[in-house]
Structure 1
Amino acid sequence: MFNKIMKRGQKKPSKSEATEPPPVATATAAPNVAAAPQPLLSLATIQNPGVVEVLPMLRDVAVPDRHVVFIRKVLVCCFFFDFSDTMKSAREKEIKRQTLAELVDIVQSGSCKLNEIMQEDMVKMISMNIFRCLPPAPHENSGADGGDPEEDDMFMDPAWPHLQLVYELLLRYVVSPDTDTKLAKRFIDHSFVIKLLELFDSEDMREREYLKTIVHRIYGRFMVHRPLIRNEINNIFYRFIFETERYNGICELLEILGSIINGFALPMKEEHKLFLVRALIPLHKPKSITTYHQQLSYCITQFVDKDYRLSDTVIRGVLKYWPLTNCGKEVLFLGELEEILEVTQSAEFQRCMVPLFRQIGRSLNSPHFQVAERALFWWNNEHIVALIAENRHVVLPIIFDALEKNIRSHWNQAINGLSANVRRMFQEMDAELFDECQRQHAAKEAMAGKLEEQRVSTWKRLEEVAARTMGKNMVLV
């Protein structure tokens, strides 16, 4: 849907009927709108008559009168209705919907050039419609402490048929080649952008998709808003990670960031690196990571792809938030680390390989076969195998015990076979090193056996001493 909206935003308008409204302060309304002259200033000068009036199509109005008709159409779109009752004010709702559809067509086609007053009033109308109190989330209605976003029913806003047209109008206005960004930034200001970003918490996925497209286009066309957008997204992530752990638009915000990160210039600014360390990497902490992990992994991989020196920072950061009891999350982390290692160079790999493969050794011995299997699949990746082969003197001693334990005692036969394949790969890679690791492993097992015998012998002696001292009244546990 995102690509479809993006393509629609690139349509070139037809200017065969484009006209510039006269730069005068007053004008006469169309005969079928009003008989007396009307002041032509702004929305504030046209009083709300209390009814939704039917207005002629703008193309049927004389050029000198189009300004006042356009303003009246914007006024019609400022009416609010109760969409929970489909039969209530049905006629007025349909008039508003048709008026919004016409405004979208006007902006898209460029059939009426909008002056400053018309643009200002149109943006005010858009703000009145979309900047509203969002309905409470299902878990808030039920009073529960939290909920699983994947299990919640999809929310469908009953007002969406009108809201969609309002968002479409805003999108057409932002992407239109006729829109002068120097003028438009007076209306689409910092306050407007902040309120737009706050709407990403909407429960309606359709609304978040439109917001994603619009914010991305604003970021591309309005350079003055770029630092603000990045900072506000940063703040949203902070609140999500450290306070609420509940936010609906994390996935869409990460998709926007994926495009932004892809356009970062090199050398990378320090603020971008801080954003990676302080916001993106901690996003591995929330338990709802499964809903946005794909987008998060893409953003982090983009950082490493831009600057390979960040791979050590990223890998250590992911290890910091490694799950202890969530096997599904651990599988995601193993897949993400594999993608990061694919763009990691040897020097950076050497800096983090010891803590990395200590964790991989624990994952290899996981009783959950999907975790162990995902870790063993690393040896199917040629780039990772090349890094391991280059540093086998460090890697093999760390994971040798885990491989031997899997081969001997793992309950899953597939894990037994995969572990044996990896073991054979190391043996063919460096037979001398393999034999040395095998000797060390045998020595460890012998030492462990002796320690176990000593422990059992010590407990027996303690029991004998206690039996002689306490007699038959002693209770052995």
Structure 2
Amino acid sequence: MCCVVFDFTDPTKNFKEKDIKRQTLLELVEYITSANGKFPENMMQEVVKMVSANIFREFIPQPRENKLINGLDLEDEEPAMDPTWPHLQAVYEFLLRFVASPETDAKIAKRYIDHSFILKLLALFDSEDPREREYLKTILHRIYGKFMVHRPFIRKTINNIFHQFIFETEKHNGIAEFLEVLGSIINGYALPLKEEHKLFLVRILIPLHKPKCLATYHQQLSYCITQYVEKDCKLADIIIRGLIKYWPVTNSSKEVLFLNELEEVLEATQGPEFQRCMVPLFQQISRSLNSMHFQVAERALFLWNNEHIENLIKQNRKVILPIIFPAIERNAKHWNQAVHSLSLNVRKIFYDLDPDLFKACQLKFQEDEAKEDEIKQRRETIWKRLEELAAKTSNN
């Protein structure tokens, strides 16, 4: 009965049959929950057949007009809700309880919840309905926990989806949900980390910072990244250099996300790893300090509010201060009050800590500024002469 799939585009069509099917599905959910005794193999086969008939389907992109109101693009503002959800929800609930049930023997069930089933299940993560993705996330997590034999296949398939997303389409609805599942998996990695897990960090997680839609899954990605640093602090250098590689140039809101993540990574970074990457790191932070967008500059200055990061900077001030001094000095005249006062605070920290180093950096900065002024004046003089020469030539 439950294998019959109805058309939900017309709410008045098969109304009675739809209701009977929904009630039957709810009864099945109740039975699975209260069952006492191992499920037989023929039942497992029927369960997978019924679930497959209902949930596996192709997603047809709904044609939507690109509405522009007051210059704002309102397309995709609301997620698309599947009209078949009253039945789909019951089927997903049934599948979740079936996989989680102690009466489901994984050794027998793996014949039916096989690679083909998992492949189709992972394809459903591209659903536009967030309710469906939430169920899929929980079910995938349960399958990963129960069917150990499928774990390498699940990881490999997710890798392929990520690769396609990063380097080809940059479009997928379920990236955040995949990362949430992976965050839990990474949390359970045994030490020392396997080479496969390190490659996943380098080839997938770090390049995931590249797509424009990073904000939709950044929280989950940042959690996965920090898990790696907490597992193995030696990876901090690789991660920080990876962030610098994909650092946004013209997207200020994305840059703020990078600075948030950078703080979390630095929080778990130890001295030796910090020293390996501090030169390129603070060259980037210096650029962020002088960003055209005041929120980027403000977020970069907030790094000094973190005690652990401040201590790392203080210990390596002889290398770091000469790199960032020009940016701090320019920000001391910043138009934004918050950036101005934070810059003065950072200036004071360095001056109180090492006045001699501070004065040496200040002297070099003044000399460089004087040279720049001199070059600027020369350019202006040359340009003026060229203009005069051009004017004479045109008159002649």
TM-score range normalised by the length of the shorter chain: over 0.9
Count of residues in Structure 1 that have an aligned counterpart in Structure 2: 392
Structure 2 partner of 1:238: 163
TM-score normalised according to structure 2 size: 0.95
Structure 2 partner of 1:274: 199
1:413 aligns with 2:298: no
Show CA shifts across 1:330-382 (max 9, x none).
Answer: 00000100000000011010111111111111111112111000000001000
- The within-5 A match list for 1:112-127 is 113-127=38-52
Structure 2 partner of 1:427: 351
Show CA shifts across 1:386-419 (max 9, x none).
Answer: 00001000110000000111112x2212211111
Note the C-alpha offset of 1:148: 8.5
- The within-5 A match list for 1:14-413 is 76-111=1-36, 113-136=38-61, 138=62, 141-142=64-65, 151-408=76-333, 410-413=334-337
Show CA shifts across 1:100-123 (max 9, x none).
Answer: 111111111015753111111111
Q: Which runs of 5+ in 2 are unaligned?
A: none
Kindly name which structure, 1 or 2, has the bigger radius of gyration based on alpha carbons: 1
Q: Partner amino acid for 1:86?
A: P
Note the C-alpha offset of 1:455: 2.2
**Alpha carbons 2:303, 2:309 under 8 Å: kept:** yes
CA–CA separation in structure 1 for the residues paired with 2:161 and 2:74: 17
Q: What SS does structure 2 have at the residue aligned with 1:153?
A: coil
Greater alpha carbon shift after TM alignment, 270-279 vs 82-91 = 82-91
Q: Partner amino acid for 2:309?
A: I
- Structure 1 pair 467–99 and aligned structure 2 pair: CA distance change class (3 A): closer
**Alpha carbons 1:131, 1:195 under 8 Å: kept:** yes
Structure 2 partner of 1:46: none
- Structure 1 pair 445–81 and aligned structure 2 pair: CA distance change class (3 A): same
CA–CA separation in structure 1 for the residues paired with 2:305 and 2:109: 53
Show CA shifts across 1:148-176 (max 9, x none).
Answer: 99943221111111111111111111111
**Alpha carbons 1:202, 1:248 under 8 Å: kept:** yes
Q: Which runs of 5+ in 1 are unaligned?
A: 1-75
**Alpha carbons 2:36, 2:103 under 8 Å: kept:** no
Aligned residues: CA RMSD: 1.9
- Structure 1 pair 467–211 and aligned structure 2 pair: CA distance change class (3 A): closer
Q: What SS does structure 2 have at the residue aligned with 1:322?
A: coil
- Structure 1 pair 332–427 and aligned structure 2 pair: CA distance change class (3 A): same
Structure 1 partner of 2:370: 446
**Alpha carbons 1:106, 1:112 under 8 Å: kept:** no
CA–CA separation in structure 2 for the residues paired with 1:148 and 1:383: 43
Q: What SS does structure 2 have at the residue aligned with 1:361?
A: helix
Q: Partner amino acid for 1:449?
A: D
Q: What SS does structure 2 have at the residue aligned with 1:287?
A: coil
Show CA shifts across 1:64-88 (max 9, x none).
Answer: xxxxxxxxxxxx0011111122221
TM-score normalised according to structure 1 size: 0.79
Note the C-alpha offset of 1:460: 3.8
Note the C-alpha offset of 1:444: 0.8
Q: What SS does structure 1 have at the residue aligned with 2:206?
A: helix
Q: Percent identity?
A: 64
